[in-house]
Amino acid sequence: MQRMNVHADRPYEVCIGNGLLRQAGELVREVHAPCAVALVTDETVAGHYGDTVAQSLAQSGFRVEQYRFAPGERSKNMEQLSDLLEWLAERQMGRGDLIAALGGGVTGDLAGFAASIYQRGIAYVQLPTTLLAAADSSVGGKTAVNLHAGKNLAGTFWQPALVICDCNTFGTLPRGELAAGAAECVKYAMLGSRALLERMTRDGLNTPWEEILPACIDQKADIVEHDERENGVRQLLNFGHTVGHAVELLSGYTIRHGEGVAVGMAILTRAAERMGICARGVTDELTAVLTALQLPTTCAYAPERLAQAALGDKKRRGDEITLVLPRGVGECILHNVKTAELLPIIRLGMEGAV
């Protein structure tokens, strides 16, 4: 097992290894005394790992109750959040108790947001079971639910007390879900590691993710330590997300988050190259790795619809929006543009794409 430290406002560890869900109780007890635990998970993940984690927690002295909800992005909404909060109150969960988020990014966001506002904040731990959640969303303390107007528009910053990444869980993922998580790993490669990009291009979905994961988490932990509240450098972690969130929204969330991010990265990299911001040939390198990982690089939505949806993004400030654009593999910059410039940029990134 590898242990990594995140030095946020409330420091915590990220544990990475195989078979860690069976040790969940012991690991959680290192950071929190035995108490009542609300094990929050979707119905699919519960069938795979719910009993394993519940038994481990119980063996370490925790009293466990499971909250299950329908899987998928469509459950990440205010109605589901309200239902979870009412459920916690009905079971008389207190400020000394704990929420455990077992699952992918939707579960982590929903449970983390609930933890941040229930009784003005209680502790929670992340137990990601998808590559996407392990590599990205479980670390850093961003929690949110979607509104009708867009993705992640209601949320908080609330750091977990512990993150437990059991890499064995990736073996139960459908290839589409694994690929969606790989998109976030590509993002980290574009932010800071050509070697990471080259390895994923070579190995595709057969990449040994347990070896890739620490590099992704190390990058994110470093950025979070410097900008926990996303006022500056942390915005780099949104590479591909402004357009990607628009793709997700327009699809009614039938397109996976990672798939949307892949499309967003491709569109903005192509635009940046044509604008002279990005080195020549980077679009080809990015397209090669996304193709190797069975991820899309284009979408069927018109540039006008994408731009309109993207302008609802939380990175907009008045008549400006911050885009993350690559200068080369391993280097991205924050680029502020007027909202009126977004459509031409998206058009530039979509022209001639196959």
Looking at the predicted structure, is the pLDDT value of residue 191 above 90? Answer: yes
Whether 76 is a known active-site residue: answer no
Q: Is 68 a known active-site residue? A: no
pLDDT tens digit sequence for 44-65: 999 999 999 999 999 999 999 9
Closest CA to 60 of 87, 2, 100: 100
Residue among 62, 73, 65, 130 at smallest CA distance from 96? 62
Work out the pLDDT band at 354, boundaries 50, 70, 90: low
Candidates 220, 256, 270, 315; catalytic one? 220
Give the active site residue among 32, 187, 234, 270.
Answer: 234
Active site residue 48: no
- Longest Cα–Cα distance of the chain, Å, equals 60
Given the residues 32, 76, 142, 151, the one annotated as active site: 142
Cα(122)–Cα(49) distance, integer angstroms = 24
- Per-residue pLDDT tens for 4-58? 999 999 999 999 999 999 999 999 999 999 999 999 999 999 999 999 999 999 9
Interior angle at CA 314, CA 310 and CA 317, nearest 5: 95
Confirm whether 184 is a catalytic residue.
Answer: yes
Question: The whole model's pTM is what?
Answer: 0.94
Is-catalytic flag, 317? Answer: no
Query: Which alpha helices (H) appear in the chain, and where do they start and end?
Result: 24-29, 43-45, 51-59, 78-90, 105-117, 131-132, 175-192, 194-203, 209-226, 241-250, 257-274, 282-292, 303-310, 339-350
pLDDT tens column, 112-143: 999 999 999 999 999 999 999 999 999 999 99
Q: pLDDT, tens digit, for every residue of 301-325?
A: 999 999 999 998 767 878 999 999 9
Active site residue 238: yes
The span from the CA of 54 to the CA of 282, in Å, is 46
DSSP three-state, residue 289: helix
Residue with tokens 């609330």: 158
